[in-house]
Amino acid sequence: MIYRSRRSLAVIAAALTTALLGLTPSVSTGSAEAVEADTDTAFAPQLVTVDTPTRADKQLLQTLGLDLTEHAGHDYIEVVLHTGSDAAVLKESGLTYDVRIGNLLEREARNNRANAAYAAATLQSPLPSGRDSYRTLPDYNDDMRQLANIRPNIAKVFDLPHPSLDGKAVHGIEIGANVRAPEDGRPVFLLMGLHHAREWPSGELAMEFAYDLVKNYGQDARITGLLDKARVLIVPVVNVDGFDLSRTDGGLVDLREVDDGGTVSILGTPGNAYKRKNCRVVDGQDTPDGTCRAFSATSPGGFGIGIDPNRNYGGFWGGPGASATFADPTYRGAGPFSEPETQNIRELISSRQVTTMISNHTFSNLVLRPNGVHPDTIGPDGNPVGNPPDEEGMRALGAEMTAANGYRNIHGWELYDTTGTTEDWSYNATGGFGFTFEIGPDEFHPPFPQVIDEYLGAGEYAGKGNREAYLDALENAVDTATHSVIRGSAPKGATLRLRKQFATPTWESSFTDTLNTTMQVGDNGRFTWHINQSTRPVVQEKLVEITEDKPVRSETYQGGPTTIGQHVDHPFTITETGIDVLQVDLDWPTPDDLDLEVYKKNADGSLTQVGSSGNFVGEKERAEIAAPATGDYVLRVINFASTSPTYDLTATLFDSTVVSSEEVPGLIENWTLTCEKGGQVLQQVPVIIDRGEQAKIDLSTCINRARNLR
C-alpha cells in the first residue's frame, strides 16, 4: 500500500512534468487504482494521534510519507490523514493511533460558522488592529502599506528580492525610530509567519505585533524605548502561494446541515485548506504565473505538491526528519535554498545583523530552540551533533517567553528530529538566537477568538500571551550581553561593511554561504554597531551529554535455569521524572548466549518494545533507552543458547550532564570589516569578537585616506 500510494503520486508528478513541457500526457488507469481513487474521494481528512513511545517509533513514522503536524509529545505525534491510502499506510505500519478529529471538513465548516458569528457580533476586537476575522493575502499587504502610510517615520514596507513561483511579490514591514534613515548599527529583531500555508495564526500574530509597535510608539514607554534601540523586521507571510490557496479554499468550506445535524451538501470544497508546502511542481522548473491552483488540485489537499520551506534551509540540509521524496509532506527540495521562500529569508538575514529571530508556526503550544536533531545523533562530520554552545542562554530566554504564554520550552528534537529548519540555519550561520513558536493547543487555524487569546493571553496568562513573549524576545535582541558591539570613529557618511564567507555544512556536503551587512557612519563621525559574534556556533566547541557516574537508582534481579528458547520477564517501574537514560545490563557466568529485550507496558496491558540487545555468543548484553517515560516496564531475558542459564540483570537510571567535547575542538573565526568612502575601500581590518564582548575598532587609516579624497 505504501508503494502504490507513492506510485500514484509519481504518476501525478510525471503528468505535471509533461504539462509544463507542453505535451499531452497519456496515462492508463487500472481498476485497482480506480478503486483506490474512489476510496480516497470518499475519505474525509482526519487528524489522528499516533502512539510513538520510542524514538524508533518516531523515526518509523517519519518514513511513511504522511503529513506530520508539529503537535507531538514524548510518546505521540499528531498526523493529518488526507486520503484512505494514508490511513492504510498508517495501519500497515503497525503503529497504533486514535482519531482526534474524524472529519476535518466538518471542523472547518464549524470554525467558519463560528468566525462569521463572531465577526457579526463584534464591532472591534481587543487586538491592536481591531480585526475580527482571519486576513487574506491582500489584507496583509494592505495592512502593511496602511501602517507605513500612517506613521512613515517609524514604519516602511520592503519587498523581498524573489517573487513566488506563482509570480506573487513577498512583502515585509520594518519598524523603528527614524526607520527611513540609512542603516545605523542598531540590532535587528526578525519575526516571521506562514512558512506553512495552513498555519494561519502564525501570520496573524506577526501582523498584530506590527500594529502594536506602530500604534504604541510614543505612547508606551517600553515599546518606545525598544524601537529607539532596535529595528524590527516582520514578514507575516513567507509562503505567499501556499497561504493564498489555503486561506481562500478554507474560507469556502460550508457544509450545510439539516435540522437533525446531518450533512446534505458540500457547497465548498476543502481544496488546499490544509496545504502545507509551497507551489513547486517539478524540481528546477518554474510554473506559469497563476497556475499553482490548477496543479495543486491534482493532489489531495494539495499536500503532495511542493517543497516544505521549513526543511529547505541550508543548515544540516538533507538530514533526519526531512524527506528526499517529492510527494512527502516534509520534502526538502532539490538542494539547500532551492526555493524562493527560503532564498528570501536567507538574503534578508544575511544582509542584516539579526540578533534574535522567531519563526511562527502552529500548533502545539511550544517554544522550540536549536538543534533540530538529538545531540547524540552522528552528524555529517562523524561526530555527535551535540547541544548548541549557547544552550544555557537560549534555554533561559525560552523560559522567559514561556512564562508569558504558558507554552513548553524545549529543543526542536524533543518534538521529533528535523533538519533544514529556519533557526537551525540562522543560528548556526550567524549566532543570532533563533526560535520556533508553535501557536495554539490543538489545530492549524482555530476559531478566530482563540487567535486573540493567543496574542493577548487568557486565563492565568491574561495580559501577557505571545505579545509579552515577543517583547521579551525584542528585549533580548537589544541586550548587549547576548550579542557583540563594535565602536569607533570613521569618516562622516562612510559605509562600514562586515563580511564573512564560509562553508555551511549540509548532511551530505557543504555550500558557500556569505554574510554581508553594512551601516552608515553619522555626521558626528562616531559609530556603534550591534553585531553577532564573529565565530559561528556550528564551528564552536561542541557540547555533548555525558552520563553521570552516580546513578539515580539501580535494581538487580537474579535468574535461575530455563531451557533454550524460553524467556523470563522481570517487572521494573520508573516513577522518577526527567530521567535521561535507562540502562539495562545482563550478565551470566558461562560463555553461553542470552539475549535481552525491554518493553514498555501500555495502559491496556500490551507491550511495546523500546530496547533490545542480541550480541554474539559470550558477549554480554546491554540496552539503553534515552529519556524513558514514567511507568511500568518488562525486562525480558531470553535463553538463546545457554545450557546453564543463571544470570544477573541490572536496571539503572542515570541523569546526564553537558560538557565540552575535547574530541571536537572549536575554531575561531573573524569578521572582515571594511571602511568605504566614495566607492573605494580605504581600510580593511579583521574583527574577532565573542558574544557579550564590546570592542573599539581603530579606523584611523580610513579617516586619513578619506581626507585625501577631498
264: three-class secondary structure by DSSP: strand
Residues 6+ apart with CB under 8 A from 662: none
SS3 string of 551-598? CCEEEEEEECCCCCCCEEEEEEEECCCCCCEEEEEEECCCCCEEEEEE
Confidence of residue 343 (pLDDT cuts 50, 70, 90): very high
Domain ranges in the chain are 2-102, 108-255+281-482, 485-532+674-708, 549-654
Confidence of residue 659 (pLDDT cuts 50, 70, 90): low
For residue 476, CA distances in Å to 131, 442, 479, 482 come to 29, 29, 5, 7
What residues act catalytically?
438
Laid out side by side, the sheet with 631-641 consists of 567-574, 631-641, 593-601, 607-613
- Tens digits of per-residue pLDDT, 483-532? 999 999 999 999 999 999 999 999 989 999 999 999 999 999 999 999 99
Q: Which of 422, 432, 430 is nearest to 196 (CA)?
A: 422
Confidence of residue 618 (pLDDT cuts 50, 70, 90): low
**Hey, how many other C-beta atoms are within 10 angstroms of the C-beta on 87?**
20
At residue 38, the pLDDT reads 36
Question: Residue for cell digits 500526457?
Answer: 25
The arithmetic mean of pLDDT across residues 18-45, rounded, is 40
Q: Which of 623, 567, 562 is nearest to 598 (CA)?
A: 623
How many degrees, rounded to 5, is the angle at CA 233 between CA 395 and CA 485? 65
pLDDT > 70: percent of the chain? 87
93: three-class secondary structure by DSSP: helix
Do residues 183 and 430 make contact, with C-beta atoms less than 8 angstroms apart? no
Give CA–CA dist 164/185, Å, rounded.
31
Confidence of residue 664 (pLDDT cuts 50, 70, 90): low
Do residues 147 and 129 make contact, with C-beta atoms less than 8 angstroms apart? no
Residues 6+ apart with CB under 8 A from 14: 25
How many degrees, rounded to 5, is the angle at CA 278 between CA 512 and CA 349? 40
HSE of 579 in the Cβ direction (CA atoms, 13 Å)? 23
Do residues 408 and 416 make contact, with C-beta atoms less than 8 angstroms apart? no
Give CA–CA dist 505/319, Å, rounded.
11
| Best mean pLDDT range from 399-413, 543-557, 596-610, 625-639 | 399-413
- Tens digits of per-residue pLDDT, 427-470? 999 999 999 999 999 889 999 999 999 999 999 999 999 999 99
C-alpha of 593 from chain center: 45
For residue 343, CA distances in Å to 165, 244, 347, 360 come to 12, 19, 6, 18
What is the grid cell recorded at 528?
A: 556603534
Q: Which of 55, 19, 25, 39 is nearest to 626 (CA)?
A: 55
Per the document, the length of the chain is 710
| Best mean pLDDT range from 3-7, 131-135, 559-563, 643-647 | 131-135
Lowest mean pLDDT among 207-211, 422-426, 487-491, 561-565: 561-565
In terms of pLDDT, which residue wins out, 616 or 90? Answer: 90
202: three-class secondary structure by DSSP: helix
Residues 6+ apart with CB under 8 A from 219: none
What is the grid cell recorded at 112?
A: 467558519
In terms of pLDDT, which residue wins out, 345 or 644? Answer: 345
In terms of pLDDT, which residue wins out, 363 or 301? Answer: 363
At residue 543, the pLDDT reads 67
The arithmetic mean of pLDDT across residues 323-331, rounded, is 88
Q: Which of 608, 687, 501 is nearest to 53 (CA)?
A: 608
At residue 259, the pLDDT reads 32
Do residues 58 and 77 make contact, with C-beta atoms less than 8 angstroms apart? yes
Do residues 669 and 500 make contact, with C-beta atoms less than 8 angstroms apart? yes
Class of domain 2-102: alpha beta
Q: Which of 285, 396, 200 is nearest to 13 (CA)?
A: 285
At residue 6, the pLDDT reads 32
Full DSSP string of 142-156:
HHHHHHHHH-TTTEE
Full DSSP string of 416-444:
----S-HHHHHHHHH--EEEEEE-SSS-S
At residue 3, the pLDDT reads 27
Do residues 310 and 322 make contact, with C-beta atoms less than 8 angstroms apart? no
Q: Which helix (H) or strand (E) holds 702?
A: helix 700-708
Name the pairing type of β-strands 354-361 and 408-411.
unpaired
For residue 620, CA distances in Å to 555, 562, 612, 617, 623 come to 18, 18, 12, 8, 10
Residues 6+ apart with CB under 8 A from 363: 69, 70, 71, 199, 201, 438, 439, 440, 441, 442, 443, 444, 446
The listed CATH number (3.40.190.10, 3.40.109.10, 2.60.120.380, 1.20.58.340) that belongs to domain 549-654? 2.60.120.380
Domain over 108-255+281-482 is classified CATH 3.40.640.10: no
pLDDT at residue 658 greater than cutoff 70: no
Laid out side by side, the sheet with 155-159 consists of 155-159, 171-175, 231-235, 188-192, 354-361, 433-438, 366-369, 408-411
158: amino acid identity, one letter: F
What is the grid cell recorded at 91?
A: 495501519
pLDDT > 90: percent of the chain? 60
Do residues 513 and 685 make contact, with C-beta atoms less than 8 angstroms apart? no
- Tens digits of per-residue pLDDT, 104-118? 888 888 888 899 999
Question: Residue for cell digits 524460553?
Answer: 566
Q: Average pLDDT, whole number, for the chain?
A: 86
Lowest mean pLDDT among 14-18, 100-104, 118-122: 14-18
Give CA–CA dist 448/463, Å, rounded.
18
Do residues 684 and 674 make contact, with C-beta atoms less than 8 angstroms apart? yes
At residue 588, the pLDDT reads 81
pLDDT at residue 102 greater than cutoff 90: no
What is the grid cell recorded at 170?
A: 513577498
What is the grid cell recorded at 388?
A: 548548541
